[in-house]
């Protein structure tokens, strides 16, 4: 059996988005950061996102509503990238912050450990709209292999002279809505091509494999 789990609020007790934003603000101990010293830019991005977000009441079905939100999500990702608020963050900063600031749901650790040990063939994957694979990896604390985490991520490039990877500010991955997650889910089932191998998707919201 294989579980494909959502991350935010399915496995975690908090949503990770605002935590990535917290990392984006000045860290005096970092020699790399040229980040924001206030939250005005982020607030403006949020306001624009909410202004453009289509009302679900205007769509006759969930599928059409998610299609309607796709343009808004892509435009929002582009605006975030152009704002550069996530520029010059290191993977270590993200990992350390995720490890110390993202608590799991009370049931998560025990459930995942029991599921993995109950059958040799059991597999656990995470499929998430989260913007940082490092945050997900850190929060899970080894309960899920990093190569079994499918999520968006910040784009990184090598810093001059130091060799440290720094974020460019762009978000990559292309997982915008639940429709993208559904497409990945279906493709994984096709790859297995085994009717006897059960794959179950688990989530808590409209964007979790509709």
Which tokens in the block code for residue 161? 């002279």
CA distance 114 to 111: 5
Q: What is the pLDDT of residues 142-187, one digit of tens each?
A: 999 999 999 999 999 977 677 789 999 999 999 999 999 999 999 9
DSSP H or E segment with residue 92: helix 91-101
Question: How does pLDDT run across 89-129, given as a tens digit for each residue?
Answer: 899 999 999 999 999 999 999 999 999 999 888 999 999 99
pTM: 0.90
> Rounded to a whole number, what is the distance in angstroms from the first to the last CA of the chain?
20
Instruction: For 184-206, write each residue's pLDDT tens digit.
Output: 999 988 887 777 788 999 999 88
Contacts of 72 (CB under 8 A, 6+ apart): 49, 52, 53, 54
């Amino acid at each position: 059996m294989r579980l494909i789990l959502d991350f935010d609020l399915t496995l975690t007790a908090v949503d990770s988005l605002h935590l990535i934003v917290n990392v984006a603000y000045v860290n005096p101990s970092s020699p790399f950061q040229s980040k924001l010293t206030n939250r005005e830019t982020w607030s403006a991005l949020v306001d624009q996102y909410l202004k453009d977000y289509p009302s679900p009441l205007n769509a006759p079905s969930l599928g059409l509503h998610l299609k309607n939100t796709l343009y808004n999500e892509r435009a929002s990702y582009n605006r975030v990238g152009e704002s550069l608020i996530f520029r010059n963050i290191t993977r270590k900063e993200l990992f350390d912050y995720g490890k110390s600031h993202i608590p799991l749901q009370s049931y998560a650790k025990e459930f995942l450990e029991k599921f993995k040990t109950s059958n040799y063939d059991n597999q656990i994957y995470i499929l998430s709209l989260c913007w940082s694979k490092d945050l997900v990896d850190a929060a899970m604390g080894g309960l899920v292999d990093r190569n079994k985490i499918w999520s968006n991520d910040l784009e990184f490039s090598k810093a001059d002279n130091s060799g440290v990877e720094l974020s460019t500010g762009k978000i990559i991955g292309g997982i915008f809505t639940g429709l993208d997650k559904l497409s990945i889910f279906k493709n994984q089932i096709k790859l297995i091509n085994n009717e006897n191998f059960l794959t179950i998707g688990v989530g808590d919201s409209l964007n979790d494999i509709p």
